[in-house]
Amino acid sequence: MAFEHEPGRYFMNDETGKLIAEVTYQAIDDGQNLVIDHTFVDPVLRGQGIAGKLVRAVVDEARATGKQIEPLCTFARHEFDTKPEYADVLRPTPSE
């Protein structure tokens, strides 16, 4: 499954051009790191692992560019909490 990419998002449209899956992210720390702020998968596609593949696309980009990720959206946070293989790109949270 191939996603389209443009700055700040990976996404998929259906054959009519309707958005059916998306992850959005932004640069933080003066462009040194990324924050994942939103994931969306249309109900007709849920349960197929697409949201996880979208997050993985951002993880792969972060690895390729030497950045770390702060997963803010609930789904991205869950992915990072349950996938120890993402630890290398997890941005440490500041100590309180």
The average pLDDT across 41-64 equals 96
What CATH architecture is 4-89? 3-Layer(aba) Sandwich (3.40)
What's the pLDDT at 96? Answer: 43
Rg value, the chain, Cα = 13
Name residue 21's beta-bridge partners: 12, 41
pLDDT at 26: 97
Residue located via tokens 């998002």: 9
Residues with Cβ < 8 Å from 81, sequence gap 6 or more? Answer: none
For 35-62, what is the mean pLDDT? 96
pLDDT at residue 94 in the model: 66
Kindly list the domain boundaries of the chain, sorted by start residue: 4-89
Q: What is the mean pLDDT of the chain?
A: 94
What was the pLDDT predicted at 95?
55
